[in-house]
Amino acid sequence: MKVFLVFAHPEPQSLTASLRDVATHELMALGHEVNVSDLYAMGWKSNIDRPDFPMLAPDERMRVAYASGSAFLTGTLTDDVKAEQAKLLWADAVILQFPLWWYSMPAILKGWVERVYSAGFAYGVGVSNECRGGDRYGEGVFAGKRAMLVVSVGGRQENYSSRGICGPIDDVLFPINHGILYYPGFDVLPPFIAWETDRMDAPGFEAASSALRDRMQSLETTEPIPYRSLNGGDYEFPGQTLRPELGAADAFGFRLHVRE
Amino acid sequence: MKVFLVFAHPEPQSLTASLRDVATHELMALGHEVNVSDLYAMGWKSNIDRPDFPMLAPDERMRVAYASGSAFLTGTLTDDVKAEQAKLLWADAVILQFPLWWYSMPAILKGWVERVYSAGFAYGVGVSNECRGGDRYGEGVFAGKRAMLVVSVGGRQENYSSRGICGPIDDVLFPINHGILYYPGFDVLPPFIAWETDRMDAPGFEAASSALRDRMQSLETTEPIPYRSLNGGDYEFPGQTLRPELGAADAFGFRLHVRE
């Protein structure tokens, strides 16, 4: 397989970087091709702004989605963005690896999504009408590819359990797994989480490394999270709401969008 | 009141910017003092990295939380970060205004949080032991101050309803409202949302402006979201999980952390 790992941590000596090396070494030992975008090391530009769209007239109002779609269509995206899009198209599997900062991905990775996910490429594609919502949530440019998160969390697993103060980790990661990965068509694997990374000792690191190697070994075979396809019949249009007869009677929120 | 508005949109002619002007004009007309950080216009540096911590030895491993706490304690944070911290301390109310991009805030605003929320300032404060979890989730440096989100959403409100494909908007915003605002002590007001901003016509803009002016008029009196205080007796330690007798029997996830 061709595996593209997008890495977002500023410190090469960090635990997160050590886990990246565990993952990439295991993938290569398994015979996979691996390509890593180390965003901090690349000096990745985080902020989507006017210099991203060189064809925009200086006094023209920048509508981000329109400017992005136009630049994608005319091949005038910046070279750094084109290179990341090419890596995504090359890959059979994409891994986003990052520390959980303030309940989300680091800004540098969020900015990678904002800039690399052009309109016409990762969103704004396909037919939208009274019975379809475009090629998204289960369809899209990355259909047939796998994706997974590898996340370092400073807190304890219990803090992110069903009744933990931080909210369930699956809900915390839902906007990324469902909203960023499933949206343009990836099959999204359950995330790999390293817990309590601020106080991990050597045996803890060995255990996390071993579990991560297992996940790399099963990258081709792990069952994806069974999110419901937007256009597969489970949703009503134009509201794009789950049909009333679907989902557990007492269910609410993000978990409704995972098939039982 | 002193109101600090943090604004994150790259286009001065955007709808989001127009709504910002509606909000700030109304606040000033009401006699409030208003300070705006327009992050794109300021050229805000999004990525937290080694130059944020000038006292770190060149070959020293950067542990972000420790480096941040040490720089805060020794007064060696960068001037841009110090200035934003001073504005937060000055304010009685803080408004974060942004377009919802990929189900979260823009990278530039996420990077503002990562850099301005220093350890020892916004987290890592207070006593943590077998019956307390530090000064956070209802306590902290911003206790007594109000905060609210003003968000532009391209999608339709129904897409973000209880059964909508995007998930309920309160859940989508929970990691920000609860995890970024309530965490360091803010009283968090219900968000103001402008829907379908990509296709808003003049009457739609007038309606949104009028609703936003109403929210600015009630900034001092709107009831905050009744999140449960971490140290107020509702949680068990050390897991920081909601006591089993609390919350609706069928409730799950983020909504458990709002009092009924």
Q: Which of B47, B101, B238 is facing A46, going by the closest CB pair?
A: B47
Q: How many CB pairs under 8 A join A and B?
A: 218
| Domain that residue B12 falls in | 2-225
CB contact under 8 A, A133 and B165: yes
Q: Which of B10, B159, B230 is facing A48, going by the closest CB pair?
A: B10
Q: Decide if pLDDT at A106 tops 90.
A: yes
Determine the pLDDT at residue B249.
Answer: 72
CB contact under 8 A, A252 and B253: yes
Q: Decide if pLDDT at A3 tops 80.
A: yes
Q: Which of B63, B104, B174 is facing A167, going by the closest CB pair?
A: B174
Confidence band, pLDDT 50/70/90 cuts, at residue B97? very high
Q: Decide if pLDDT at A130 tops 90.
A: no
In a domain, A244, yes or no: no
Nearest Cα to B215, choosing from B112, B113, B93, B98?
B93
CB contact under 8 A, A230 and B106: no
CB contact under 8 A, B166 and A180: no
Question: For the residues of B148-217, what is the DSSP string, one character each?
Answer: EEEEE-SS-GGGGSTTBTT--HHHHHHHHIIIIIITTTPEEPPPEEE--GGG--HHHHHHHHHHHHHHHH
In a domain, A137, yes or no: yes
pTM for the predicted model, two decimal places = 0.98
Question: For the residues of chain A, what is the DSSP string, one character each?
Answer: -EEEEEE--S-TTSHHHHHHHHHHHHHHHTT-EEEEEEHHHHT------GGG-TTS-TTS---HHHHHHHHHHTT-S-HHHHHHHHHHHH-SEEEEEEE-BTTB--HHHHHHHHHHS-BTTTBS-S-BSSS-B-S-SS-STTTT-EEEEEEE-SS-GGGGSTTBTT--HHHHHHHHIIIIIITTTPEEPPPEEE--GGG--HHHHHHHHHHHHHHHHTTTTSPPP-BPPTTTTSEETTTTEE-TTSS-TT--GGGGGB--
In a domain, A250, yes or no: no
In a domain, B246, yes or no: no
- List of chain A residues whose C-beta atoms are within 8 Å of the C-beta of residue B250: 250
Q: Mean pLDDT, chain B, as a whole number?
A: 96
Residue B199 contacts A, CB cutoff 8 Å: no
Q: What is the mean pLDDT of residues B143-154?
A: 98
For A112, nearest residue in chain B (alpha carbons):
B107
For B247, nearest residue in chain A (alpha carbons):
A163
CB contact under 8 A, B172 and A167: no
Name the H helices within B91-163. Answer: 107-116
Residues forming a β-bridge with A242:
A235
Nearest-CA distance from A207 to chain B in Å? 21
- List of chain A residues whose C-beta atoms are within 8 Å of the C-beta of residue B133: 165
- What is the total count of domains within chain A? 1
In a domain, A186, yes or no: yes
Determine the pLDDT at residue A231.
Answer: 96
For A178, nearest residue in chain B (alpha carbons):
B166
Q: Which of A46, A179, A235 is facing B108, going by the closest CB pair?
A: A46
Q: Mean pLDDT, chain A, as a whole number?
A: 96
In this structure, what CATH number is given to the domain that contains residue A116? 3.40.50.360
Q: What is the mean pLDDT of residues B45-54?
A: 96
Q: Decide if pLDDT at A249 tops 80.
A: no
In a domain, A27, yes or no: yes
Determine the pLDDT at residue B131.
Answer: 84
ipTM of the complex: 0.97
In a domain, A221, yes or no: yes
Nearest-CA distance from A3 to chain B in Å? 23
Confidence band, pLDDT 50/70/90 cuts, at residue A248? confident
Residues 39 through 98 of chain A touching chain B, CB cutoff 8 Å? 40, 44, 46-50, 61-65
Q: Decide if pLDDT at A198 tops 90.
A: no
Q: What is the phi/psi pair of residue A168, to 5°?
A: -60, 140
- List of chain A residues whose C-beta atoms are within 8 Å of the C-beta of residue B239: 156, 158-159, 161, 164
CB contact under 8 A, A108 and B46: yes
In this prediction, what percent of chain A has a pLDDT beyond 90?
93
Residue A157 contacts B, CB cutoff 8 Å: no
Tens-place pLDDT, residues B108-144: 999 999 999 999 999 999 998 888 999 999 999 999 9
User: What is the separation of C-alpha A167 from the centre of its chain, rounded to a whole number of angstroms?
Assistant: 19
Residue B101 contacts A, CB cutoff 8 Å: yes
